[in-house]
Structure 1
Amino acid sequence: MHLAIVSFGPKLGKLLALFPVLYNSGGTCIILIITGGWTLDLIFNTLCNHDAMCHAKSLTNTEWFLVFTCLAILIAQLPNMNSVAWVSLIGAITIVLYSTLIWALSITKDRPIGISYSQSDKLKSNMEKFSDVLNALGIIALAFKGHNVILEIQGTLPSSPKQTSYKSMCTGVTISYIVIAMCQYPLAIGGFWAYGNKVPYSGGHGLLTAFSQIHGPNTSKLIMTSIYLLVLVNCLCTFQVYAMVVFDNLEVRYTSKKNQPCPRWVRTFLRIFYAGLAFFLSVTFPFLGSLAPLVGGATLPLTFAYPCFMWIAMRKPRPNGLVWFINMGLGCFGIVLTILIVIAAAWTLADKGLKANFYKP
């Protein structure tokens, strides 16, 4: 927020920084509730299905969403981003573990019959092919967006004019992206080799769905339950990181209006209110995961455009010089890429349609 105000002015800076950050955080929390509830259902079915000793009935999807939300609220009582550091570390460890388990198990098992690696492009129009390319670029960009990485690093590393955190922040970003690449590249390459066109088009967890459907019945219950538990823990930990941005904003508004520290009971109420609102929206829009390219594409300038323009505004390099040209070119490219990805995502939704199951998760 401070960087945006310094770079773009008070009114435009608040608009450009506050809306996309809160929009991204809120949308991500809703998708995490949907994914977490879906994962809880998978854990229950894995443990109880084909078990003569288990006579319990599974909850509805709405009830699973509520169970996940209650678990998230319990962890959400941590006061600030520094106190969430260990939660974030657990989240990072779990995503490395479950992504590694998925691709390693996928490539060691037999590939399904009828697998194909080619696209049936003969019946597609040029616009459909172009849209497919842009959607693929959008998925890659969303995988490496880094909004939460940057916000978390800035929120936890102390910095002052005399002793800046430039080097530690650069180290943190570098390590974060190395870990992201370690998870994403083997998962994408190994998953495509193992399943090809068998990967379902489902928002955010297509490879996990493919592994569960194709190799799940032939995999031990312990391994499947472990993978689902890792996914669940990762969703709970990620929820805290994204929600903390909204929590901080709500508390800042309270302290600014009341001119006093935020009491603990008010903090608890605000967090329960936000989690309850996210739960309501997850039940209202249970298909939000299918809108991830469209919803997430609008926030890409936070990573791919804003930093370039902010650097020019604050450092003021020589106009039309090499450094100025590189930053201006990358910033404009980020804006153009965002617009094209949003258009392609909207085109795909209009072409393929959307199962808008409002209030029917």
Structure 2
Amino acid sequence: MEEINEYVESNKIKQIQKFKVCTVLISLDAKMVSSSPPPPAPKEVPSDENEKWVEDGAVREAKWWYSTFHTVTAMVGAGVLSLPYAMAYLGWGPGTMVMVLSWCITLNTMWQMIQLHECVPGVRFDRYYELGRHAFGPKLGPWIVLPQQLIVQVGCDIVYMVTGGKCLKKFLEMACTNCTRLKQSYWICIFGGIHFFLSQLPNFNSVSGVSLAAAIMSLSYSTIAWAGCLSKGQVENVSYAYKESSGADYIFRVFNALGQISFAYAGHAVVLEIQATIPSTPEKPSKVAMWKGALGAYFINAICYFPVAFIGYWAFGQDVADNVLVALKKPSWLIASANLMVVIHVIGSFQVYAMPVFDMLEKTMVKRLKFPPGIALRLIVRSTYVAFTLFVGVTFPFFGDLLGFFGGFGFAPTSYFLPSIIWLKIKKPRRFSISWLINWACIFIGLFIMLASTIGGLRNIIADSSTYEFYS
């Protein structure tokens, strides 16, 4: 029995000793683990740099006055010189009413777009089509907004190619009467060559200097136009009667005049892109600075448009030319200077309208085709776009007539009534309230101008087709 007890006791001692050894080993192992450096953490898989570039591409460093001259550059184009010609078909009463009404309607729709830029907390709709996607849905929204916006942006750039080449030709022919005359196509190519370099500037902020110069030039040549008419005074036997033509022809010309006035308010196609460059905080949202800049732009717009339209029509009456500078003729040095100012202005206008197109094309290349962002992407995409607009401008110098037709689907919607539709869709104002009535009035007026511009432009294409010259 004692032997059995001794055996049990000895086994207990051995088990206790084994337990103690195991405990010591475990503690030593723990110390070694704790004292050794931790194993390197697994590397995080980097997010797709292309996607990050697409999402974070916006540079938000602009001040409120940037939006002023960007908007002026986008809106006040060489078309201001044709406003007296539009007045000749509309007359004093209807012409004044359409001018004032267009100014008020488009100022209201610009205010709506500025307010809608951050209508969702924490989200900024930096592109017109992004706002359309929010209002009409991810599938339908881009199809409603993007075609109209592209018609305005690409169409304006092609017209600016033609306008810049024509004005450059006029300037040098007036400045150097003994120089060899070049074809208009060559001058358009010279003008287009400038944009192969300017288009490489990365964003809106980088073209601020060009845009500021363009805005100053638009104010300058508009002032030359109305001041020259004022100093010249009324022509002999001036008449303010409506132009004599057949009934059908007169209606089409009136429609075309409505289109010319509506095309003067095309800046809405880039207003969200301009606002995207302005920083925004809860204390200082971007809509405050952008609206301040827009008011300044519309003030400059008014002192450019209204004096040119009214004084030009007052001086020449129904016989005013479609370009009031051409009607002035003298002094030649002043008219030559005004043409050079138009050239500088459309250089800036081309870039303002092209920047959103560049942005969209580059993001499409990066997102869909996995093209790496950088200088190579910018060089290829932007040079191709400039070459395309240059080719169309040289090949079809009558593109203004085509723009009158297609622009009816672009200019009037983007500036006159599409912002009102989006406002009704998102804000949902109470039926028959003041806001509801104003927006529906803008929609009906804009639809009428859109249809009238389209019909007038189509008629001009048919009527002028016999005089078209390719590569003139």
TM range (shorter): 0.7 to 0.9
**2:386 paired with 1:275:** yes
Structure 2 counterpart of 1:99, which letter?
S
Instruction: Indicate the residue corresponding to 2:417 in structure 1.
Output: 305
The separation in 2 between residues aligned to 1:152 and 1:89, in whole angstroms, is 17
Instruction: Indicate the residue corresponding to 1:94 in structure 2.
Output: 217
Structure 1 counterpart of 2:130, which letter?
H
The separation in 1 between residues aligned to 2:372 and 2:161, in whole angstroms, is 30
2:155 to 2, 22, 27: 27
Question: How high is the TM-score relative to the length of structure 2?
Answer: 0.67
Residue 260 of structure 1: CA displacement? 6.4
**2:190 paired with 1:67:** yes
Instruction: Indicate the residue corresponding to 2:114 in structure 1.
Output: none
2:154 touches 2:354 (CA, 8 Å); kept in 1?
A: yes
The separation in 1 between residues aligned to 2:343 and 2:418, in whole angstroms, is 32
Structure 2 counterpart of 1:48, which letter?
C
The separation in 2 between residues aligned to 1:90 and 1:64, in whole angstroms, is 21
Instruction: Indicate the residue corresponding to 1:158 in structure 2.
Output: 279
Q: How does 1:100-119 map to 2 (within 5 A)?
A: 100-109=223-232, 111-113=234-236, 115-119=238-242
Give the direction of change, closer, same or farther, for the CA distance of 1:271–1:173 in structure 2 (3 Å limit).
Answer: same
The separation in 2 between residues aligned to 1:358 and 1:269, in whole angstroms, is 31
Q: 104-113 or 165-174: which moved more?
A: 104-113
Give the direction of change, closer, same or farther, for the CA distance of 1:275–1:174 in structure 2 (3 Å limit).
Answer: same
Instruction: Indicate the residue corresponding to 2:446 in structure 1.
Output: 334
The separation in 1 between residues aligned to 2:371 and 2:197, in whole angstroms, is 25
Give the direction of change, closer, same or farther, for the CA distance of 1:258–1:96 in structure 2 (3 Å limit).
Answer: same
Q: How does 1:73-152 map to 2 (within 5 A)?
A: 73-109=196-232, 111-113=234-236, 115-121=238-244, 124-125=246-247, 127-148=248-269, 150-152=271-273
The separation in 1 between residues aligned to 2:372 and 2:238, in whole angstroms, is 60
The count of aligned residue pairs is 343
2:164 touches 2:346 (CA, 8 Å); kept in 1?
A: yes
**2:331 paired with 1:209:** no
Give the direction of change, closer, same or farther, for the CA distance of 1:358–1:269 in structure 2 (3 Å limit).
Answer: farther
Identity of matched residues, %: 33
The separation in 2 between residues aligned to 1:174 and 1:6, in whole angstroms, is 26
Where structure 1 has 5 or more consecutive residues not aligned to the other structure, the ranges are none
2:427 to 292, 315, 318: 315
Matched residue of 2:384: which SS?
helix
**2:290 paired with 1:178:** no
2:167 to 18, 25, 39: 39
Q: 321-330 or 17-26: which moved more?
A: 321-330
The separation in 2 between residues aligned to 1:105 and 1:333, in whole angstroms, is 34
The separation in 1 between residues aligned to 2:181 and 2:267, in whole angstroms, is 36
How big is each residue's C-alpha offset from its partner over 1:73-118, in whole Å with a ceiling of 9 and x where there is no partner?
A: 2211110112222221111110000110121122212554564332
1:88 touches 1:241 (CA, 8 Å); kept in 2?
A: yes
Q: 341-350 or 29-38: which moved more?
A: 341-350
The separation in 2 between residues aligned to 1:152 and 1:294, in whole angstroms, is 26
Matched residue of 1:156: which SS?
coil
The separation in 2 between residues aligned to 1:258 and 1:176, in whole angstroms, is 39
How big is each residue's C-alpha offset from its partner over 1:135-188, in whole Å with a ceiling of 9 and x where there is no partner?
A: 333222222333256245323223467753222222222211111111011111
How big is each residue's C-alpha offset from its partner over 1:213-258, in whole Å with a ceiling of 9 and x where there is no partner?
A: xx33xx153x233212211100111110011121111111112135
Residue 7 of structure 1: CA displacement? 0.3
1:82 touches 1:155 (CA, 8 Å); kept in 2?
A: no
Residue 17 of structure 1: CA displacement? 1.8
Question: How high is the TM-score relative to the length of structure 1?
Answer: 0.86
Instruction: Indicate the residue corresponding to 2:180 in structure 1.
Output: 57
Matched residue of 2:276: which SS?
helix
Give the direction of change, closer, same or farther, for the CA distance of 1:209–1:294 in structure 2 (3 Å limit).
Answer: farther
2:217 touches 2:345 (CA, 8 Å); kept in 1?
A: yes
Residue 298 of structure 1: CA displacement? 1.8
Structure 2 counterpart of 1:173, which letter?
A
Residue 319 of structure 1: CA displacement? 4.5
Give the direction of change, closer, same or farther, for the CA distance of 1:85–1:298 in structure 2 (3 Å limit).
Answer: same
How big is each residue's C-alpha offset from its partner over 1:22-51, in whole Å with a ceiling of 9 and x where there is no partner?
A: 1211111111111111111112211221x5
The separation in 1 between residues aligned to 2:304 and 2:399, in whole angstroms, is 24
Instruction: Indicate the residue corresponding to 1:242 in structure 2.
Output: 353
The separation in 2 between residues aligned to 1:251 and 1:268, in whole angstroms, is 10
The separation in 1 between residues aligned to 2:152 and 2:266, in whole angstroms, is 11
Instruction: Indicate the residue corresponding to 2:112 in structure 1.
Output: none
Give the direction of change, closer, same or farther, for the CA distance of 1:171–1:261 in structure 2 (3 Å limit).
Answer: farther
Give the direction of change, closer, same or farther, for the CA distance of 1:159–1:307 in structure 2 (3 Å limit).
Answer: farther
Residue 292 of structure 1: CA displacement? 4.2
The separation in 1 between residues aligned to 2:332 and 2:371, in whole angstroms, is 55
Give the direction of change, closer, same or farther, for the CA distance of 1:348–1:272 in structure 2 (3 Å limit).
Answer: closer
How big is each residue's C-alpha offset from its partner over 1:121-146, in whole Å with a ceiling of 9 and x where there is no partner?
A: 4x532x44443433333222222333
The separation in 2 between residues aligned to 1:340 and 1:290, in whole angstroms, is 14
The separation in 1 between residues aligned to 2:467 and 2:460, in whole angstroms, is 15
1:81 touches 1:155 (CA, 8 Å); kept in 2?
A: no
The separation in 1 between residues aligned to 2:280 and 2:444, in whole angstroms, is 29
Give the direction of change, closer, same or farther, for the CA distance of 1:358–1:20 in structure 2 (3 Å limit).
Answer: farther
Structure 1 counterpart of 2:448, which letter?
V
Matched residue of 1:10: which SS?
coil
Q: Quick check: which has more Rg, 1 or 2?
A: 2
Give the direction of change, closer, same or farther, for the CA distance of 1:93–1:117 in structure 2 (3 Å limit).
Answer: same
Where structure 2 has 5 or more consecutive residues not aligned to the other structure, the ranges are 1-128
